[in-house]
Amino acid sequence: MTLSIFVFFLLGILIEALLLFDCAHPINGYIQSLHPLLQRIFSPVNLAASTLALLAAGLAFLIRLAGLDGPSMDIGTSLVGSVLVVLGVFVFFAAMAADLFIPVINEQSILIVQCAILASFLLEGNQVPWLPLLPLVLIPGIISLFLLFSQKKLPPILKALFYLWYLFTLMILPFQTGQVEAFLHATYTPIQAAVSGGLLLFMVIHGLFTARFFLMVCSLIRPRNRKFINRLMPRLFTDDQVPPKSFLLTFAACVVAILLNQVLHIIPPSLALTLCVMSAVQILSHLSRMKK
Amino acid sequence: MSRRSHPSSSPASPPPAPQANDLAVKRQKENSTLDLVAGIFSPLVIILFVVLMIIGLDEYAAHYQKVTQFEKNMIISTGIWEYFHNDGKSGWVKIQDERCLNTLYLDTRYYSAAALATLEDGKEVRVRYSVPDCRAYLDVYYAEFRYNLKGLQEFIPLFLFCVMVLILKPDFLYLGLIDLSDTPDPAEKP
């Protein structure tokens, strides 16, 4: 990874941080005079992300112009190492001791994650051989389909167990798609670097939160602790579903994006699949919030 | 003759048996001490749990990488089992391959007792190996090496300790997510 590519990698991390923060704590400040659709397009987060992208492109251009883009860098390089350490500490506390970046989900988000893993399983086989991937994915998939159609609401403790399952399957995804290996060995183009940066942040935050949430679920053995989860679950797992039309549109958009990428080879297919899952979870979080 | 009544022995509210009362107070004291100790340790335990998880994942990733690398250059062949090394954790296989000086190193820690029982000095054994690594893996029991997660088993007691402490005092886990004051939530059922 060269310095200019590292700039794009950081850009991906920053944009993803913005998007996740917007999912967890909606940033207001829409331009009221515009059409609602245009308001969404020119939302504060999108404007901030575009500004960041322009700045990154400018910075990368200047780096190349100044001839600083020479040697390849990795995590052992002092600049990369120190930036990643600072980011790591921030992300650790953001995921373990705060509520900054965890998007609210619903049954539809769970269904999309399970579909993505299932698609990857059918296309490439089980890449995590020590895990029984099929039952692990099919059970929550079927439960979320049942909940979607029956409109039943789960009690908080069952919701917590279901949410934990969702987090575990989300963590399997980068192993199944081979993304973990790609993070270690990839030589990136600017787009790949930005996408990988965003994905890395999404996965690290969810990974740390999985550990935290696993401990929360373990603590439910003691009845005295259950009052906490009753208060927490509405923040993480909403019963509000996105209208079927919007859900199907999101699903179809993901499928089209994956197929288009297959034809145009913009980013590696495994990266595209993981990116679509990440985007779908965030879009559905936005849409379910808009419904309120 | 009027009977003198003692103030503490009113018939309406008989006093609790002193022994049971003491026991309850003692138990409450013990619980609060345990809660206090767990409360002090719980932030550290959360960090410890995450660190262990990261180390575990790193070990798995390293093993996965080793397996992938090995399988790219893997050769399957038959050799002669020589003997177990004195440390009991390894052994040698004689094979016809000059690149490995006709000897392969076999790490026995990956295998179960049943697999090791099949190895007898001077007997033929089917192995998989790569060059220039020259490490052998038993062909029949290759899955035991490939899906080996024995390194992670060492962490289980520590994981359990973390979980135990956080069952006692999980408050820190909810830091920043919910209001931890004891006032009941309006949406919560009484």
Chain A contact present for B53, CB below 8 A? yes
Distance CA A94, CA A80 (A): 21
Chain A residues inside the 8 Å CB shell of B49: 211, 215
CB contact under 8 A, B168 and A230: no
Six-digit token pair at B124?
Answer: 């033929």
Domain residues for the domain of A205 are: 3-291
CA–CA gap between residue B6 and residue A138 (Å, rounded): 73
Among chain B residues, CA nearest to A219: B167
pTM flag (> 0.95): no
Q: Nearest-CA distance from B86 to chain A in Å?
A: 32
- Give the per-residue pLDDT at A127: 77
Length of chain B: 190
Cα distance between residue B101 and residue A87, in whole Å: 49
CA dihedral over A113, A252, A250, A46, signed as positive or negative: positive
Q: Which residues of chain B have pLDDT under 50?
A: 1-10, 183, 186-187, 189-190
- How far the first Cα of chain A sits from its last, in Å, is 43
CA distance B37 to B31: 10
In this predicted structure, what is the pLDDT of residue B145?
87
A126 close to B (CB below 8 A): no
Give the angle subtended at the CA of A122 by the CAs of A119 and A123, to the nearest 5°. 85
Length of chain A: 292
Tell me how far apart the terminal alpha carbons of chain B are, to the nearest angstrom.
Answer: 54
- What's the per-residue H, E or C state across A44-75? HHHHHHHHHHHHHHHHHHHHHHCCCCCCCCCC
> CB-based contact (8 Å) between B152 and chain A?
no
Whether the Cβ atoms of residue A226 and residue B167 lie closer than 8 Å to each other = no
At residue B14, the pLDDT reads: 59
Under a CB-based contact definition with an 8 Å cutoff, are residues B120 and B148 in contact? no
Please tell me the total count of domains within chain A: 1
Residue B15 sits at φ, ψ, to 5 deg, of -70, 150
Note down pLDDT in tens along chain A; length 292 residues.
Answer: 788 888 888 999 999 999 898 888 887 767 767 776 677 777 888 888 888 888 988 888 888 888 777 767 776 778 888 888 999 999 998 888 888 888 889 888 999 999 988 888 888 887 777 778 888 888 888 988 888 888 888 899 999 999 999 999 998 888 888 777 666 666 788 888 888 899 989 999 999 999 999 999 999 999 988 999 999 998 899 888 888 888 899 999 999 999 998 898 888 888 888 899 999 999 888 888 776 5
Q: How many CB atoms lie within 10 A of CB A238?
A: 20
Q: Distance between CA atoms of B49 and A215, rounded to whole angstroms? A: 9
Cis peptide before A243 (omega within 30 of 0): no
Please state the φ and ψ torsions of residue B129, each to the nearest 5 degrees.
Answer: -150, 170
**Can you give the pLDDT at residue A186?**
65
Tabulate helix, strand, coil % of chain A (nearest 5). Answer: 75, 0, 25
User: For residue A177, what are the contacts with CB-CB under 8 A and spacing of at least 6?
Assistant: A120, A124, A127, A270, A271, A273, A274
By the CB < 8 Å criterion, does A98 face chain B? Answer: yes
Of A129, A130, A219, the CB nearest to B166: A219
CB contact under 8 A, B167 and A222: yes
Q: Does residue A223 belong to the interface with chain B, where contact is any CB pair within 8 Å?
A: no
* Total Cβ atoms within 10 A of residue A220: 18
ipTM reported for the complex, 2 dp? 0.82
